[in-house]
Amino acid sequence: MEALKTIEPKIDQEEKQYSYLNLGPTHPATHGIFQNVLKMDGEVIIDAEPTIGYIHRAFEKLAERRPFYQITPITDRMNYCSSPINNIGWHMTVEKLLGVEVPKRVQYLRVIIMELARITDHLVCNAVIGVDTGALTGFVYLFQQREHVYEIYEEICGARLTTNLGRIGGFERDFSPKAWAKIDKFITEFPPILKEFEKLLVRNRIFMDRTIGVGGITAERALNYSFSGPNLRAAGVDYDVRAMNPYSSYEDFNFIVPVGTNGDTYDRFMVRQEEMWQSLSIIKQAISKLPEGPFHATVPDFYLPPKEDVYNNMEALIYHFKIVMGETDVPKGEVYHSVEGGNGELGFYLISDGGRTPFRLHLRRPCFIYYQAYPEMIKGSMLSDAILTMSSMNVIAGELDA
Amino acid sequence: MELNKEQRTLELLKEKFEDQILQIESPYNLLTIHLRAEKIVEVIQFLYSNEETQYQYLTTLCGIHYPDNNEIAVMYQLHNLPVNHRIRLKIFLPIENPSTPTITTIFSAANWLERETFDFYGVIFSGHPNLKRILNVEDMIIHPLRKEYPLEDQRREDKVDSFFGR
C-alpha cells in the first residue's frame, strides 16, 4: 500500500521530472501477482522496486506441523507448472534422510515424469514469451500439448495440476498400460509440433528484434545473483544439477546441457527450446532402457500398504496406522538435497529432530533468488521490454512467495 | 578427488581461522562447519576469493531457531562450482540480540535471502542496504518462524489429540 502513494510525480535534484508507474500487483501482462513500482523517464525505466509476498502461504511454517508425507501437497503449490519435479524432489530428500535406496525402475519412472514436467514448464514459458511479443498462435497451439501431458499425470496419479505424485519410496501404483500408451502417443506427436512452433518464432524477424539484447545479464552477475537453471545457462554457465550432482540415475542418460552467450531473452528462449528436445531424448532413453522390478522400495514404515491388505492383514493395518498417525521413528540429522526444477536448482534443506514433523524445512526456491536481479536487468530498457524480461525469466508467483 | 578438496579447504580454514571454528561435521556428506559469529564475513570472503577454494556461488541462506539453547542460527550454504563441492557454515546468535554483518557485499543474491531471514527470525543484518520485511506484511510485529509462535491456536478446544501422545 506504501507504494501506491508514491504515484504523484516527484521533482529530482536535476529538476527532472520522473513519473512512477505501478506495474501490478494484478496486471495481465505479468502472469502472476507481483508489483513493480517503476520510475520512468518517458518510456525508459530508470529504476524498479519489486514488492513480493502477495500469495505467501507460510509453507516453511506449515511444514513444521505436518508429517513428512503430508508435505508433498505443499510442494505442489510452489512451481505449479512442474509440480511432479517438486514432489519427487521432496520424496528424494526424505529418502536421503532415511537412507532408503529406491529400485532402479522407480528411478527411471521418476526421470520420465520429471522430464515430462520439464517439457510442460518450458513449453508454457516459451509460449508466453511468444504471447508477449504479440504471437498468440504458438501459445494456443502448444497448450494443447500441455493438456496431453496433464492427461498422462492424470493416468498416473489422478490429478492434473497439483499432482501430489508418488510416495516416499516410489509410486503409489505402477504405470498402467493406458498411461504408457499416452506417453508413447505424446512422444511421437509432440516433436513435429514443437518443430513447427520453433519455425514460427526462432528466425522470425519481429520476434528476434523484440528479444535479442533484451534483459541481458552477464555470467558474472548471474552467478553473483545465484541464478540457476535455464536463466543461468542462457548467460553461458553450464551448471545443471542433473549433470553436476546426478540424482535418480541421471548419470545413465546421454544429454547435453545447452548454454547461451548473452543471457538475454532470446538466449533464454533458445536454451529452454533445446532443453525440451533433450528432455524428449531422455524420456526415449528411459523408456528403452526401463528395467523390470517393483514400483516402490520396501520401506513399510513409510510406504502406505495397499488398501486390501490394510483390511485383511494385521501388519499392514499396524503400518497404516503408524504412518497416518506419524508414529514412525525418523533419524535425526540435517540433509540438503536439490533437483533441477523447471526454473533451476530447487533445494530442500531439512532438519529432523527425530519427531514426526521436520524441525525445520527450508526451501531453496530458484525464482525467489533470481527475481531480485530483475530491477538490474530492466534498468534503461523500455516498458515493453520489462514485460518480456519478466516472462522469459519464468517467474512463478507460487514459487516466489512460497 | 572431492575428498582431497574438502581436506584442503579444511586445512586452509584451520590455518587462518583456527580460533573461529567450533565444530566440524559432515552429515550426509555435506561438510558443515559451526563458526563463531564474529568473523563470518571474513571467512566467507576468504572462501570466496582464495584461489584454492573459490566458493563463489551462494546456494542458500536461512535461519533456524533452537529454542532449547535460546539461539538463532544462520546457515550459509556455498558451492564451489569448478570442482563441484558444497560447504555449509552455521553461526549461532543469541535470541535477545540476533545481529550479524551482511554478506550482500560479497553476494548480491544474499539481499533477499537476508531480508527473508530478518522477516521470519528477526535477525538484524547490519549494513544491509534495504533490511525490511519481504514476504509478510510490513506492519507485522512478530517474526513468525520462531518456535514460540505455534501454527494453530493452542487454546482450541474442539480438537483433542492428546490420545495420540501429541
Phi, psi dihedral angles at A91 (to 5 degrees) = -60, -40
Cell numbers for B163: 490420545
- B15 lies in some domain: yes
CATH number at residue A121: 1.10.645.10
pLDDT tens digits along A93-115: 999 999 999 999 999 999 999 99
Quick one: DSSP state of residue A301? T
The residue behind cell 514460427 is A200
Cell of A195: 518443430
The residue out of A15, A33, A51 marking a domain boundary is A51
A336 → closest Cβ in B30, B58, B84: B30
Q: What does the alpha-carbon distance between residue A317 and residue A306 come to, in Å, rounded to a whole number?
A: 10
Whether residues A45 and A109 fall in one domain: no
Strands B85-94 and B31-35: parallel
What total of structural domains would you count in chain B?
1
Domain with residue B52: its CATH number is 3.30.460.80
Of A64, A245, A333, the CB nearest to B27: A333
Same structural domain, A109 and A39? no
Contacting A with CB below 8 Å, chain B residues are 27-28, 30, 32, 56-60, 62, 64-65, 75, 77, 81, 84, 86, 88, 107-109, 111-113, 116, 120, 133-138, 144-145, 151-152, 164
Residue A154's domain comprises 59-401
Same domain, residue pair A104 and A238: yes
Mean pLDDT of A210-214: 90
pLDDT at A86 > cutoff 70:
yes
Residues A17 and A160 in one domain: no
**Same domain, residue pair A46 and A120:** no
Report which secondary-structure segment, H or E, holds A211. helix A205-211
In a domain, B158, yes or no: no
Structure confidence by residue, pLDDT tens digits, B4-25: 778 888 888 888 888 888 888 8
User: With contacts defined as CB-CB under 8 Å, which chain B residues touch A221?
Assistant: 108
* Same domain assignment for residues A28 and A82: no
Using CB atoms, pick whichever of A62, A221, A347 lies closest to residue B60: A347
Among B28, B108, B134, beta carbon nearest to A225: B108
Closest CB from B30, B65, B164 relative to A325 = B164
Tell whether A85 and A173 lie within a shared domain.
Answer: yes
pLDDT at A13: 61
* Domain count along chain A: 2
CB contact under 8 A, B27 and A334: yes
- What proportion of chain A, given as a percentage, has pLDDT over 70? 96
Same structural domain, A141 and A10: no
**A126 and A28, same structural domain?**
no
How far apart CA B105 and CA B41 sit, in angstroms, is 9
Q: In what order do the strands lie in the sheet with B31-35?
A: B21-25, B31-35, B85-94, B71-80, B57-66
pLDDT, tens digit, 9 for 90 and up, residues B90-111: 999 999 999 999 999 999 999 9
Cβ separation A53–B81 shorter than 8 A: no
Q: What is the pLDDT of residue A11?
A: 53
Contact A244 B116 (CB under 8 A): no
Out of B62, B107, B135, closest to residue A53 by CB: B135
The answer to whether A53 contacts B28, with C-beta atoms less than 8 Å apart, is: no
Asked whether the predicted pLDDT for residue A1 surpasses 50, the reply is no
Q: Is residue B165 one of the residues assigned to a domain?
A: no
Does the structure show a pLDDT above 50 at A363?
Answer: yes
pLDDT at A7 over 60: no
At residue A329, the pLDDT reads 83
Are A71 and A26 in the same domain?
no
Residues of A with CB under 8 A from a CB of B: 2, 52-53, 56, 58, 60-62, 64-65, 96-97, 221, 223-226, 237, 239, 244-245, 325, 327, 333-336, 338, 345, 347, 349, 351, 360, 362, 364, 368-369, 371-373, 401-402
Whether residues A283 and A382 share a domain: the answer is: yes
Burial (CB < 10 A; 0-12, 13-18, 19+), residue A383, is: middle
Residue B77 has pLDDT above 80, yes or no: yes
Give the per-residue pLDDT at B19. 84
Domain encompassing residue B97: 2-151
Confidence of residue A322 (pLDDT cuts 50, 70, 90): confident
Averaged confidence pLDDT in chain A: 89
Please name the helix (run of DSSP H) or strand (run of DSSP E) that holds residue A40, with its range, or none. strand A35-41
Do both A215 and A299 map to the same domain?
A: yes
Q: How far apart are CA B43 and CA B56, in angstroms?
A: 13
Give residue-wise pLDDT tens across range A167-194.
Answer: 888 898 899 999 999 999 999 999 999 9
Q: Is the pLDDT of residue A283 over 50?
A: yes
Preferred mutation among A57, A97, A349 to probe B, highest tally of B CBs within 10 A: A349
Q: What is the pLDDT of residues A217-271, one digit of tens each?
A: 999 999 999 999 999 999 999 999 999 999 999 999 999 999 999 889 999 999 9
Residues of A in contact with B28 (CB under 8 A): 96-97, 333-336
Predicted TM-score (pTM) of this structure: 0.91
The backbone torsions φ and ψ at residue A364, rounded to the nearest 5 degrees and listed phi first, read -90, 100
CA dist A50 → A9, A227, A390 (Å): 19, 18, 12
CA A238/CA A230 separation, integer angstroms: 9
A42-53 per-position pLDDT tens digit: 889 999 999 998
Cell of A313: 492383514
